[in-house]
Structure 1
Amino acid sequence: MASSSVPSSQPARPPRPNLVFRHLRGSRSPAEFAAAVRRAAREIGERVSCDARYVHRVEAGEIRCPNYAYERVFLHMFPGRTLTDLGFAPRSSVRGRRTRAAGDQPAAPPENPANATSETSGASEPYETHNRYDPYDPHDHEESDVLRRAFMTGGGATVAAATLSPYGLAPEASAAQRPVRRAGTSDACALEEAVRRIRVLDDRHGADGLYRRAAAPLRAAYALLDAGATRQRTADRLYSGAGELAISVGWLAHDSGRFDDARSHYAEALATARVTGDAALEAHAFCNTAFLARDAGRPREAVRAAQAAQRAARPLGSPRLMSLLALREAGGWAGLADRAGCEQALIRAQAYFDRGPGEADPEWMTFYGEAELEGLEAQCWSMLGDWTRAARHARRAAELQDPHFTRNIALYTAELADDLARDGRPEEAAQAGMRALDLLGEVQSSRVRSMLSGTSRVLLPHRRTSGVSEFLDRHASLPRMV
């Protein structure tokens, strides 16, 4: 930590009290208002540790701009208002305060670190609500630079493939430090390439081995946003890329069973989309939120999120995207045991799909073809208890899937095994289960393993049926997930 005698690189200025925020508190005490903030956070799935001291600091002007979690909570509490309407400074006016030219001395920390302002806290770690990096700490500056190099070791699109390791992601502390600079086109390209690389690796290997490695590029992306960009077009690409990366990392958490982490990443992507007015990113974030809600046993939320995604996506002109979003809605209706609602959404999904691919289809939708359509429909019928129909669609999904998508083949085959088992066809279920087990040598997916565990429980009373005992024994010998 730099000595407090080191002069600041910025002139000191007294904080300006936030009188607007004080007025909004009204007659409530700071402690009462802090309790209201925490309740509002819980309503939208956020966690903030707001207390009376934090309220005092906001009103005193020490916090010129809240972190992203607090921003979402305040905008939820006061709908229709912006941060500036609440008395805060625009984020653009405080973003990049840590950027320094090479050779500049770091800003001096306050004598009492607890009194440091946190106007930029959360900018580089948006899915945490506490101030992990004190903005006056030069180690924060170091960390941001190291994280950026998680996908920027050489600049441009060659970075993601520079250090492959088992999954193609560089370790976050593997390179020498260099001064933070404003982001440029090569940084945006590197971020976009990191997103593509993660998606390709997930298609082939599944999420379990990727999730923790992908966290470093995500932190790096938000460090880039914090540094600012040289041009508005570059800034737009960085925001879009960071949002897409948050969704990709959220999916890795989702597929590996870390639902709380996934929800946080998807929420961050949605906030980024809302801040920048990016309808395509908003539709993608709501799409994944709907999928997560269905898997987490919140089917009504899944329906609402899927419908919100369709509203955002309608102007984009992509029938294939609308098809996928209708399927997300169908999954929610199935979870609610609403067969009519599910069937209507499935009909819309098929009608949109039949219009064919188009130039407006998002890049991230490369996985969505006839196989995925069949697989998602199979899941709907499975939730509705129509095992025969579910098995028919799951079998077709596995047969149609491009060999590149190894994880999806494993998923559809596991779905088929479970549907057959529940449909009273244990021998066929065991055969499908064995094929899915064969693929686990290449795929690390908690979702697939969980499905096979359910199938094994259903098949247990049929151990004497041909092939079932072999499947059960082989499943039981799988190594436990760490």
Structure 2
Amino acid sequence: MVSTGAVPNLAFRRLRGQRSAGEFAAAVRRAAREIGEQVACDARYIGRVESGEIRCPNYAYERVFLHMFPGTTLADLGFSSRETVRGRGARATVDTPPPTAPHRDTDEESDVLRRVFMTSGTATMATATLGIGGTSAAAAARPAPRRVGEAEVSAVEKAVRQIRLLDDRHGADGLYRKASHPLRIAYALLDSGVAAKRSTAGRLHAGAGELAISVGWLAHDSGRFEDARSHYAEALATARVAGDAALEAHAFCNASFLARDTGRPRESVGAAEAGQRAARPLGSPRLLALLALREAGGRAGLGDRTGCERAIGRAHTAFGRGRSDADPEWMSFFREAELEFLEAQCWSVLGEWSRAAHHARRAVRLQDPHFTRNLALYRAELTWDLGRAGRAAEAAAEGHRVLDLLDRVRSTRIRAMLAGSVTALRPQRGTPEVREFLERYAEVSDTPSGTPK
């Protein structure tokens, strides 16, 4: 919706010249690819800029526009400064999420992962992590033997939290490579360091294992399945060496998820059951609920409806027991919205599309809008379920909402889900709503087949 009192951006409109909004949007996407950016620009976005609804672009679009028109500034392009727009509280007129979840480009934010280790206060850590000071990659991977203390362990733990935060905002595609570097350093510390205290050693093992799972998830979400499998196995081995049941449960949880996503449902069930065995002594009902849902997903893939329903029932029972002090920190994402989403996926695999759509819609309604990636994921699931349930116009409306989020979310997984929905909806292109969505999707994807970039 255009903000009250929006002033048309005539300068930007002049730059478009005789090109249609769609042609200009295609030029923007081409320019983005030239500098390694990825923006889902379409005619609708250009219209929002020209109408004055977007008074300041996000950082990715800013770089693209300045690349297209060298020597210009945002002011030359008719935009207000970011500080001015934010300062006046004009939330609806800034091409960013709300102030409580400030949007910066994924590449900019992921630089924090390198800076995290500088907080350790040690030149060795900073040099190894940043690759500065003439240190070779091989030397960086093999720090000299040293006593590992609070600073190093805290840096590893901080890297884990930062990865999770950035993934919640943007998805994995722009983050995986950069996140792999702190992981190598963490395991190099394990290999060459001597912990000053037994408790420090335990925290370092746990931190390195959690970092391996986080990086594995980034690989998983960006379609690098073999990399993900390797990272999850690395985390599981670390858990076994350290005797860390909580880390073991987490590694099995993600391994189950990956197995389900890669068409190995029996392996998914086995990993989920192993995770539940590791988790039972920990005293976290929510962890058991999540692992039960992982099992349910695997059983759905096997066509085991009865087993799936039983696992879902156990998940609801455990979830209903509420939060516990024993809940792992990494489970902060597992709220009622995620429970509904995972149940929706089970019914979807079993072919109960309307039932799946019901739970996917509940997930969308319950989701905190600040977690952009999950909101896009839930809407992509809803698009798919509605389309398969024969509710084509509703599916198209949800598909538009997913496209609206893809400027800020870089997830191969979500794009693949949306591509599947497009394929399912093509036979319904005679419906006006579906035709409009398919045309917009094709414009944004910018490929003849309609597969997203």
Aligned pair partner of 1:401 in 367, 375, 382: 367
Instruction: Output the CA distance in 2 between the equivalents of 1:353 and 1:226.
Output: 39
Q: Does 1:200 align with 2:200?
A: no
State how far apart, in whole Å, the 1-side matches of 2:199 and 2:360 are: 43
1:429 aligns with 2:395: yes
Q: Check the 8 A contact 1:293/1:302 in 2, yes or no.
A: yes
Residue aligning to 1:387? 353
Say if 1:156 and 1:189, in contact at 8 Å, map to a contact too: no
> Which of residues 186, 191, 201 is equivalent to 1:221?
186
Q: Deviations over 1:84-118 (max 9, x none)?
A: xxxxxxxxxxxxxxxxxxxxxxxxxxxxxxxxxxx
Partner of 1:316: 282
CA drift at 1:476: 1.5
How far off is 1:174 after superposition?
A: 4.3
Matches within 5 A, 1:24-423: 151-155=116-120, 172-174=130-132, 180=144, 181-228=146-193, 229-423=195-389
Query: CA RMSD of the aligned region, Å?
Result: 2.1
Distance 1:459 1:171, change over 3 A: farther
Q: State the distance in 2 between where 1:176 and 1:232 align.
A: 34
How far the C-alpha of 1:156 sits from its partner, in A, is: 6.6
In structure 1, C-alpha distance between the alignment counterparts of 2:370 and 2:166, rounded to whole Å: 10
SS at match of 1:306: helix
Instruction: Say if 1:222 and 1:247 are closer, same or farther in 2 by CA, change over 3 A.
Output: same
* Amino acid corresponding to residue 466 of structure 1 in structure 2: P
Secondary structure in structure 1 of the residue aligned to 2:370: coil
Superposed displacement of residue 173, structure 1: 2.2
Contact 2:354–2:385 (CA under 8 A) maintained in structure 1: yes
Kept in 2: contact 1:413–1:432 (CA 8 A): yes
Residues 58-82 of structure 1: CA deviation (Å, up to 9, x unaligned): xxxxxxxxxxxxxxxxxxxxxxxxx
Match among 392, 414, 435 for residue 448 of structure 1? 414
Maintained 8 Å contact 1:302/1:332 = yes
3-state secondary structure, aligned to 1:464: coil
Query: Which segment drifts farther, 411-420 or 223-232?
Result: 223-232
- Match of 1:154, SS state, is helix
Larger relative contact order, structure 1 or 2 (CA cutoff 8 Å, min sep 6):
2
Which runs of 5 or more structure 2 residues have no equivalent in the other structure?
A: 1-112, 447-451
* 1:404 partner SS: coil
Question: Match of 1:358, SS?
Answer: coil
Within 1, Cα distance between the matches of 2:290 and 2:363?
15
* TM-score of the two chains, using structure 2 as the length reference: 0.69
Is the contact between residue 119 and residue 151 of structure 2 (CA under 8 Å) also seen in structure 1? no
> What secondary structure, in the 3-state scheme, does the structure 2 residue paired with 1:182 have?
strand
Q: Is the 8 A contact 1:149 1:220 kept in 2?
A: no
Aligned length: 325
> Structure 2 vs 1, CA of residues 175 and 283 (structure 1 numbering), >3 Å: closer, same or farther?
farther
**How far 1:475 moved relative to its partner?**
1.4
TM-superposed CA distance for 1:176, in Å, is 6.6
Moved more, 314-323 or 181-190: 181-190
Q: Is the 8 A contact 2:289 2:315 kept in 1?
A: yes
Q: Determine if contact 1:303/1:329 at 8 Å carries over to the other structure.
A: yes
Deviation of 1:346 after TM superposition, in Å, equals: 0.2
Q: Equivalences for 1:14-29 in 2 at 5 Å?
A: none
Paired with 2:121 and 2:342, the residues of 1 have a C-alpha distance of: 36
Specify the alignment match of 1:469 in structure 2: 435
Measure the CA separation in 2 of the matches of 1:149 and 1:388.
45
Shift of 1:172: 3.5
Residues 220 and 392 of structure 1, relative CA distance in 2, 3 Å threshold: same
Given that 1:156 and 1:190 are in contact with CA atoms closer than 8 Å, whether structure 2 keeps it comes out as: no
Residues 199 and 149 of structure 1: is their aligned pair in 2 closer, same or farther, counting only changes over 3 Å? closer
1:73 corresponds to: none
CA deviation map 1:160-206 (0-9, x unaligned)? 9x9xxxxxxx9742467597432111110010000000000000000
The 1-side partners of 2:223 and 2:274 are apart by 24
The 8 Å contact of residues 129 and 182 in structure 2, kept in 1 or not, is answered as no
Judge conservation of contact 1:372–1:397 (CA < 8 Å) in 2. yes
- When residues 173 and 404 of structure 1 are mapped into structure 2, their CA distance, relative to the original with a 3 A threshold, is same
User: 1:467 offset after TM fit, Å?
Assistant: 1.4
The one-letter code sitting in structure 2 at the alignment partner of 1:196 is R
The amino acid of 1:218's aligned partner reads L
Q: Distance in 1 between matches of 2:129 and 2:433?
A: 44
- The answer for the alignment partner of 2:68 in structure 1 is none
**In 2, Cα distance between the equivalents of 1:449 and 1:345?**
29
Deviation at 1:150, TM superposition (A): 6.1
Query: Secondary structure at 1:467's aligned position in 2?
Result: helix
Give the Å deviation of 1:149. 6.5
**Cα deviation, residue 151, structure 1:** 3.5
Q: Distance in 2 between matches of 1:341 and 1:303?
A: 10
* Between 252-261 and 227-236, the greater mean CA deviation after superposition: 227-236
Tell me the distance in 2 between the aligned counterparts of 1:334 and 1:414: 19
Counterpart residue type for residue 170 of structure 2: H
Q: Identity percentage over the alignment? A: 66
Give, in angstroms, the shift of residue 404 of structure 1: 2.4
Contact 2:129–2:185 (Cα < 8 Å) also in 1:
no
Change (3 A) 1:176 1:232: farther
CA drift at 1:469: 1.3
Mapped to 2, the partners of 1:350 and 1:247 lie a distance apart of 25
- Secondary structure of the structure 2 residue equivalent to 1:360: coil
Give the distance between the partners of 2:175 and 2:132, measured in 1 at CA.
18
The one-letter code matched in structure 2 to 1:278 is D
Q: Is the 8 A contact 2:376 2:405 kept in 1?
A: yes
